[in-house]
Amino acid sequence: AQKVTQAQTEISVVEKEDVTLDCVYETRDTTYYLFWYKQPPSGELVFLIRRNSFDEQNEISGRYSWNFQKSTSSFNFTITASQVVDSAVYFCALSEARLFSGGYNKLIFGAGTRLAVHP
């Protein structure tokens, strides 16, 4: 069965600290996609990144970076020099790239990690 585990329920850091959010997934498929979404207090989920299972190259986008390691089934997210505006709940999600009826994919979400960045 597919599963996404975000073991860190809440993380609290002081501004400018680096913080890593862990994500471990389980799937039997060889083709799949991994995502990170941010949910600020306003409630809207903001798409951050999508990675397919064949692309293990790490990615950096400004202060954000992602480390994808198939060997450990992990897709960790690091925020460098955190800021108060980074305070949010971050969700890791997994989808499978195969045809269900109607041709859609289902997202399986982790429980989320609540990040609080203090001034």
Partner 1 sequence: GAVVSQHPSRVICKSGTSVKIECRSLDFQATTMFWYRQFPKQSLMLMATSNEGSKATYEQGVEKDKFLINHASLTLSTLTVTSAHPEDSSFYICSAQLASFTDTQYFGPGTRLTVL
Residues found near partner 1 in the complex (CB under 8 A): 33, 35, 37, 42-47, 50, 91, 97, 99-107, 109-112, 114
Q: Minimum CB separation from partner 1 for residue 111, in Å? A: 5
Q: Minimum CB separation from partner 1 for residue 102, in Å? A: 5
When the beta carbons of 71 and 99 are compared against partner 1, the nearer one is 99
Bridging pattern class, strands 113-118 and 10-14: parallel
Q: Minimum CB separation from partner 1 for residue 95, in Å? A: 8
What dihedral angle (degrees, nearest 10) is formed by the CA atoms of 91, 6, 19, 94?
Answer: -50
**Greatest Cα-to-Cα distance within the chain, rounded to the nearest angstrom:** 48
Q: Minimum CB separation from partner 1 for residue 50, in Å? A: 5
When the beta carbons of 102 and 119 are compared against partner 1, the nearer one is 102
Query: Residue 2's Cα: distance from chain center in Å?
Result: 15
When the beta carbons of 68 and 91 are compared against partner 1, the nearer one is 91
Question: Residue 78 CB: number of other CB atoms within 10 A?
Answer: 16
When the beta carbons of 41 and 119 are compared against partner 1, the nearer one is 41
Distance CA 27, CA 73 (A): 9
Tokens 């400004």 identify what position? 62
